[in-house]
């Protein structure tokens, strides 16, 4: 890469890091092209970008973003997974892939200016996905409204039942 290509790569990576919520860095030594391509394809399905980037270029690109503190952690050949909106699904893919392929050594992650360890990523991967959490929230909101309507309709319903019982009693008295 010549200097102009490096500058362009750093600028592109800098812009991408501005929109990323979570960055997972992992060692990839010993992984062949087939395995890396398979991992890329799995991550792409979750909207995640997987790249192999030079540490110096990543350190420069991270300046001025939430990932600025990342520069001190860059040691050895690392791959970068840039995760956008849903952090759980891509993390699950990475953790599962690392369990099946020990060549992928997840080192750490960076989120909101904080370093996350592998154990914290394991916990994150066990959470329900964003879609599941939104569905659970929606069901709670619907259930609350349904219960509210049921409570509000209980008094008129009881009143109508009392009137009906009174009407039946009067009809029996007439007969």
Model confidence pLDDT, tens digit, residues 19-36: 888 888 888 888 888 988
Alpha-carbon span 30 to 13, nearest angstrom: 25
80-122 per-position pLDDT tens digit:
888 887 888 888 888 998 899 888 888 888 887 788 888 888 8
Structure tokens at 135: 């569905």
Domain residue extents for the chain: 3-127, 128-175
Q: What are the contacts of 168-174 at 24+ separation with CB within 8 A?
A: none
Share of the chain above pLDDT 70, in %: 100
CATH number, domain 3-127: 3.30.70.1730
Phi first, then psi, for residue 107 (nearest 5°) are -85, -55
Alpha-carbon span 81 to 67, nearest angstrom: 13
Q: Give the pLDDT score at 78.
A: 86
Q: Give the pLDDT score at 3.
A: 85
Residue with more model confidence, 166 or 64: 166
CB-based contacts of 143, cutoff 8 Å, min separation 6: none
Strands (E), the chain: 22-27, 49-52, 79-83, 105-111, 114-116
Q: Is the pTM of this model over 0.75?
A: no
């Amino acid at each position: 890469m010549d200097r102009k290509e490096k500058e362009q790569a750093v600028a592109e990576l800098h812009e991408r890091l501005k929109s990323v919520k979570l960055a997972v860095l992992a060692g990839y030594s010993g992984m062949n092209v087939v395995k890396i391509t398979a991992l890329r394809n799995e991550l792409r399905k979750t909207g995640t970008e997987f790249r192999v980037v030079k540490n110096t270029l990543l350190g420069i690109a991270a300046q001025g973003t939430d990932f600025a503190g990342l520069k001190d952690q860059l040691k050895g050949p690392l791959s970068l997974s840039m995760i956008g909106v849903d952090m759980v699904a891509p993390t699950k893919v990475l953790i599962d892939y690392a369990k099946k392929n020990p060549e992928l050594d997840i080192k750490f992650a960076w989120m909101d200016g904080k370093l996350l360890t592998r154990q914290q990523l394991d916990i994150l991967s066990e959470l329900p996905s964003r879609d599941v959490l939104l569905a659970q929230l929606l069901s709670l909101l619907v259930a609350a409204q349904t219960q509210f309507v049921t409570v509000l309709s209980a008094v008129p319903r009881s009143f109508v039942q009392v009137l009906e019982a009174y009407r039946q009693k009067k009809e029996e008295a007439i007969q």
